[in-house]
């Protein structure tokens, strides 16, 4: 995913944390903030040290990025959101990561219901 699709600055992260609202499932928490007039969505990833060592954390981030890349057409363009991985996320395979991410994005109303039937 290109850099223009990422929330990188600490101030942007804090804005989404403070002004946005969150939804969670067992493995991920998603904070979202509506940004009207934005060309495309931006996503920030956070994988804490409780998830595992650096190798595990980077693997979880790669899985999340790849899942979001595959879901990109179904995601709304006028939103910033943060994906925070919880402790169990390092036990998931790529397919399980995508399923869990789709679940939490549907709970956050960022992903349309038709998206799961299209990917199966």
Phi, psi of 28 (to 5 degrees): -140, 150
Cα distances (Å, whole numbers) of residue 60 to 19, 47, 106:
26, 8, 20
Q: Give the domain extent around 31.
A: 3-119
User: How many domains are contained in the chain?
Assistant: 1
User: Is 80:16 a contact under the CB 8 Å cutoff?
Assistant: yes
Per-residue pLDDT of 45-90, as tens digits, reads 999 999 999 999 999 999 999 999 999 889 888 898 899 999 999 9
What CATH number did the domain enclosing 87 receive? 3.30.230.10
Choose between 119 and 71: higher pLDDT: 71
pTM of the model: 0.86
Per-residue pLDDT of 85-117, as tens digits, reads 999 999 999 999 999 999 999 998 888 765 455
User: Is 37:103 a contact under the CB 8 Å cutoff?
Assistant: no
Task: State residue 51's pLDDT score.
Answer: 93
**Separation of alpha carbons 47 and 71, rounded Å:** 20
């Amino acid at each position: 995913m290109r850099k223009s699709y990422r929330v990188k600055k600490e101030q942007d992260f804090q804005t989404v944390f403070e002004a946005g609202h969150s939804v969670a499932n067992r493995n991920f928490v998603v904070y979202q903030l509506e940004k009207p007039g934005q060309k495309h969505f931006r996503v920030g990833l956070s994988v804490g040290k409780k998830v595992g060592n650096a190798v595990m954390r980077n693997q979880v981030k790669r899985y999340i990025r790849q899942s979001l890349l595959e879901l990109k057409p179904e995601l709304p363009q006028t939103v910033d959101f943060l994906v925070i991985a919880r402790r169990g996320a390092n036990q998931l395979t790529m397919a399980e990561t995508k399923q869990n991410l789709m679940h939490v994005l549907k709970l956050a109303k960022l992903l349309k219901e038709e998206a799961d039937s299209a990917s199966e």
